[in-house]
Structure 1
Amino acid sequence: MFDATLHIPPFTVRLRSPFASVRRHVETFYSQSLLSEDSRDFIDFDVEILPGRGVRRVWRRQARFLLDGVEPFYPLPAAQAAPMFEWGMNWCVAQRPMGWLVMHGAVLAREGAALVMPGFPGAGKSTLCASLAFIEGWRLLSDEMTVLDPADGLLLPHPRPISLKNNSIDVVAAFPEARLGPIYRDTRKGTITHAACPPASLRQADQRARAAWIVFPRFEAGATLRIEQLSRVEAFTLISEQSFNGERMGAPGFEALCAMLDHVSCHELVYGSTEQGLEGIRRICVT
């Protein structure tokens, strides 16, 4: 049984699993996050990825995700045990941290100024995020989770592997600095893999950033580059749709999001290629 404690800022995670693929995933993407037994502190998420029950242990084998001994969603094929850890972690972060406002979106920073790209399905967010991190040198705070602290209005780094799917895999695989893991086929999201977080971003995982730009990207094959400025009200409406715990936080979450929007420029970005997407970000993110 693989048993490890990981510090994945800002959380500490205990992970137990008999699956060799889960161990390899941790060794590939989280080797710098492993904590020794004498340095383990409070555990935020106690996670197990276990085999299926009964005949599912040997026939059409399954993997189950458990948080604190509770199984929050259905099992997946055993071959998807490693990506199940990433999907399960997204669920944990979305459901648990009541003190922070958590939204679905990529966050990157440059000299303390953060770019937030809320994640609508099929928008090409992860490909553009990886392009900014590996080609343009932006610091990756998170590919999936925008975590805002209402106490200081800053965004918290949560650096994990960048999730890639389908056509974006070949695009990112061509980046010289990108290091990709195994490819998993026939998942609920199609063909997927992960790109390791850039080492420089991991080294700066204790540095928060203040939102300066919010960009809603939308990839459309064959489209010409189009940038449209959005009002604060429009941006609030769109980003609220991507909030996991805004309603549960109530007034503190509402006020934190309003305060963040007071200091950012908001745009919709439509692009037909990675190069166009990067050019659009360069035009928007002028310091």
Structure 2
Amino acid sequence: MTICALSYDLASQRLSSTSGVDLQIGPFVFNLRLHCPDLARLLYELWRDYPLAEGAAVRDFHIQATSNPAPGRWLRRDVRFFVDGRTPFPLLPAHHHLPMLEWGLNWCIAQRSHHLLMLHAAVVERNGRAIILPAWPGHGKSTLCAALIHSGWRLLCDEFGLVRPEDGALLPLPRLIPLKNESIEVIRSFAPSAHIGPSFYGTRKGTIAHVRPPTESVERMHETARPGWFVFPRWVAGSPLRLEPMLKSEAFLMVATNAFNYEVLGQTSFELVGRMVDACDCYSLVYSDLDQAIKALDELTRAADD
């Protein structure tokens, strides 16, 4: 049963109760408690496809978000994020509730998932093989990922490439894709069918809006994928498309430096990244036009399937 199978009133009541709601998101179970009605309304819309994890033996994270009047400022409300009863972040204005929650979930995963190799990468899949898109902030990773999942690819994740060390499988974590600033209208124009939530202005990353994962990606979030390609994207305004093979030694260094916990896992991550790079074709991608970029990636991956 998914959260949207409940009526909104029942879902809201359970989210604000002392026991909260258990949700399965990829390999993790989140216990969620909200005392922030605007956020509950938005999650009911954007998280609608996540299944309830009722009766889960283990909850990976206990999350709470509360909205209260700002101290000494009666006309303003603040929102606070808690994990396991502690708050790792300062207060934010209440109207930044969803960005805070999504950043908070990223923090939880990055801090406590060292049984997996965590790459800072978007991952999309088709026919069982995945394109891994490691990139630094501002290189157009999320924009390209949102375009790909509305062009026939399945979303595994936009932020975390989760790799299981024992077999190198990529684990899906299909969450909201945060678009920033100009990218919001780019995706609205490119993919009119994309479900994009409201824009949040004046955050520490500028204006943010979130793309809801396609329902199929959430329904298939227990299906792993195997790495097929590493593609390192970079958006450059006005640039002609360049999709060029990379030396595997260079790709290894770029994958390692785009991992959240490479040093933590030590030899395990060294060997795992080496096996992945050896097994994958590696490319750099410079683009300014999404249609051209997606056509090039489609041709690249289909040629490998022929």
Comparing 17-26 with 5-14, greater Cα deviation is found at: 17-26
Contact 2:169/2:224 (<8 A) preserved: yes
Q: For 1:1-287, what aligned pairs fall within 5 Å after superposition? A: 1=16, 3-35=20-52, 37=54, 39-51=55-67, 55=71, 58-134=74-150, 136-174=151-189, 175-285=191-301, 286-287=303-304
Aligned to 2:10: none
Taking structure 1 as the reference length, the TM-score comes to 0.94
Contact 1:150/1:252 (<8 A) preserved: yes
Comparing 199-208 with 57-66, greater Cα deviation is found at: 57-66
C-alpha distance in 2, partners of 1:11/1:160?
A: 12
**Paired residue secondary structure (2:197):** coil
Comparing 71-80 with 25-34, greater Cα deviation is found at: 25-34
Distance 1:173 1:54, change over 3 A: closer
**Which amino acid counterpart does residue 138 of structure 1 have in structure 2?**
W
1:154 CA drift (Å): 0.6
C-alpha distance in 2, partners of 1:71/1:57?
A: 21
C-alpha distance in 2, partners of 1:221/1:183?
A: 23
**Which amino acid counterpart does residue 22 of structure 1 have in structure 2?**
L
**Paired residue secondary structure (1:5):** strand
1:56 CA drift (Å): 6.3
**Paired residue secondary structure (1:71):** coil
Contact 1:64/1:75 (<8 A) preserved: yes
Q: What's the RMSD between the two structures over aligned residues?
A: 1.7
Contact 1:124/1:219 (<8 A) preserved: yes
Comparing 238-247 with 26-35, greater Cα deviation is found at: 26-35
Deviation string, structure 1 residues 70-117 (Cα, Å, up to 9, x no partner)? 222222111111121111111111111111001111000011100000
Distance 1:36 1:96, change over 3 A: closer
Unpaired runs of 5+ residues, structure 1, are none
C-alpha distance in 1, partners of 2:177/2:243?
A: 25
Unpaired runs of 5+ residues, structure 2, are 1-15
1:41 CA drift (Å): 2.9
C-alpha distance in 2, partners of 1:247/1:21?
A: 39
**Paired residue secondary structure (1:284):** helix
Where do 4+ consecutive residues of structure 1 move more than 6 Å? Answer: none
1:45 CA drift (Å): 0.8
Identity of matched residues, %: 40
1:119 CA drift (Å): 2.5
Taking structure 2 as the reference length, the TM-score comes to 0.88
How many residue pairs get aligned? The number is 285
